[in-house]
Amino acid sequence: MALPNCHRHVLWKILSWGFFLLRSWEASGTKCKQWLSAAVECNRCIWDWSHVGWLGVTAEVTPCLPLWGFASLAAPNPPALWLPHARVCFCLQVHSKGLKLGIYSDVGTKTCAGFPGSYNHYDLDAQTFASWGVDLLKFDGCNSESLDLLAEGYRRMSVALNRTGRSIVYSCEWPFYLRPVQQPNYTEIKQYCNHWRNFYDVYDSWSSIKSILDWTALHQDTIVKIAGPGGWNDPDMLVIGNFGLSWDQSVTQMAMWAIMAAPLFMSNDLRHISPEAKWLLQNKEVIAINQDPLGKQGYQAGRDGVNFQLWERPLSDRAYAVAVLNQQEIGGPQKFTFSLTFLGNGLACNPACSIKQVLPASRDCGVYSWMSSLSLEVNPTGTVLLEVLPL
């Protein structure tokens, strides 16, 4: 049984911007300064994002913030690049803008990129993170010698974070490393982690987004029921605003991440994001669905042939979010018609409901009765996101 962790008090998902796509070999002092300028120093930029709920900056793999090798900080002469005052200064910068700061480490001897991990000095690292004012820890699972040590490391870091007295969101990859060998115990994982990765890293491509959605649908009977306030399935970052997704595919990722009640982390370059991508990522209606206080994860409710999928998510006040996804990759828009009778096990539109389209554009669809059907046109690889309100 997990101790009553401080980070367990973090009931709701956060929205954050990450450095994931800036690979370590691309980084330099100049480039890091540019990225931090975009993320921290531009007050207008910060207001543009923070006022709709985006809260933080997360350093994952780039050595802009060389936050690996924390045990080295206890050495008599740590490398100059690793001096802690630089991190404290950066943390103060981030917090002064009203943002939160995330950090990356690993349960094993080394991170996935080969830097020193946290193995066997979990307490030291947790205390160091807390002293720097870190708000989120992403804890990877590379280079652990056994599944027992992997599980022990995730538990120990959870307890160590609790001992700091600071509320630090704990993001795990525990089930991802277990799945090739054994079925994860999600009840236990939720006792220790605030959210957890189940599947491979996301990439800036439609095939990557599609594979995550397919995996989630295939395993939904196992993973959906455990998600809720305090613990969430994490399908990985939003790659909207880069170059690999079309507009329709970007809409699909945003809509489906809202349906899946996913933690929202952007992985993009805020200096060069398009107005369309910015509108999508800042869409208050979509963010409200994602952050709905009922906290239930959505699921695939049905399919029509190979291409069309119907997903639904229960929301507070008896409302539902509904997504119609067209996985067809060629051709033009296709019509999809579905009965409202069976939405939400027959409860979503009983006896009547009003329906609003949220994506790809906001519009009122009208009032419908329980026995009605709704027809939509959905672009290839696109999604229509609806909000169904009971009457």
Q: Residue-wise pLDDT tens for the chain (391 aa)? A: 344 344 544 555 556 655 444 444 344 445 555 555 555 544 555 556 777 777 765 555 333 333 333 333 333 333 333 445 555 566 767 777 777 888 899 999 999 989 899 999 999 999 999 998 899 999 999 999 999 999 999 999 999 999 999 999 999 999 999 999 999 999 999 999 999 999 999 999 999 999 999 999 999 999 999 999 999 999 999 999 999 999 999 999 999 999 999 999 998 887 788 999 999 999 999 999 999 999 999 999 999 988 999 999 999 999 999 999 999 999 999 999 999 999 999 999 999 999 999 999 999 999 999 999 999 999 999 999 999 999 9
pTM of the model: 0.88
> From CA 138, how far away is CA 378, in angstroms rounded?
36
Q: Give every strand in the sheet of 100-106, ordered side by side.
A: 232-234, 195-197, 169-172, 136-140, 100-106, 56-58, 15-18, 264-267
Predicted local confidence at residue 190, as pLDDT: 97
Please give the pLDDT value at position 35.
54
Q: DSSP class of residue 239?
A: -
The residues assigned a catalytic role are 140, 201
C-alpha angle 387-388-390 in degrees, rounded to nearest 5: 145
Which helix (H) or strand (E) covers residue 247, if one does? Answer: helix 247-259
